Amino acid sequence: MSGSNTSVPGSAAGSPEPLSFAVHSLPDPRVPPQQRSGRWKMLLVLAVCAAPVVASYFTFYVVRPSGSAYGELIAPTVDLPADLPLADLQGRAVPADSLRGQWLLAVVQPAACGAACERQLYVQRQLREMLGKERTRVDKVWLIPDEGMPRPEVLAAVGQKGVEVTVLRVPQQRLAAWLKPAPGKALSDHFYVVDPMGRWMLRAPAEPDPKKFKADLDKLLKASAGWDSPGR
């Protein structure tokens, strides 16, 4: 609920160098068969563990099925800045890396939170609940780009046990290094989907078609099964 280059250098004359194989890539006949077998088993286990990661990244960062997405897939994805200055409502600094590890369904709304903001926070909650057993893999995040304080009733709504929203402040000019609205739109006009690696990869309307947007989320969660974990 996050997508994501190598090339073969040429020779000094500008022509490609022929591929070569290192001797150590071949089995060493001096290594006992039992030891070689153990190495192959270890490599097989590593390959099995890595397969979901490779498959999901290939699907969403290489194939990128943009034609089947309701929201707008972001290409290339945008990494979460390591120095993004986040703080909680008490003013305590929050490391940007704390947002990694799960899918994020994020909104950007002012602390004043008028009717449109309340409606978007409600839709955010409903979308996550619609995911059923997969909802634990998605965190709801409210990013506040100003110094105001939300009304007590709004804080009570987003702080309900079991459906809590992570509320963080971030300067709007710094947030622009990570999330951006569509041309002619404001940051508050969208939902932002970020993968567990901190990569912003999808943007959807603030008032989406719930079923179509949920279908996008279902695809993302299905493709990434096995490389993120419930709870953070």
Domain ranges of the chain: 23-57, 64-223
**Weakest-pLDDT range from 111-115, 124-128, 133-137:** 133-137
pTM for the full model? 0.72
How far is it, in rounded angstroms, from Cα 124 to Cα 105?
Answer: 7
Q: Within 13 Å, how many C-alpha atoms sit on residue 152's CB side?
A: 0
Q: What does the pLDDT read at residue 62?
A: 52
Superfamily of domain 64-223: Glutaredoxin (3.40.30.10)
How far is it, in rounded angstroms, from Cα 122 to Cα 203?
Answer: 18
Categorize the per-residue pLDDT at 6 as very low, low, confident or very high, splitting at 50, 70 and 90.
Answer: very low
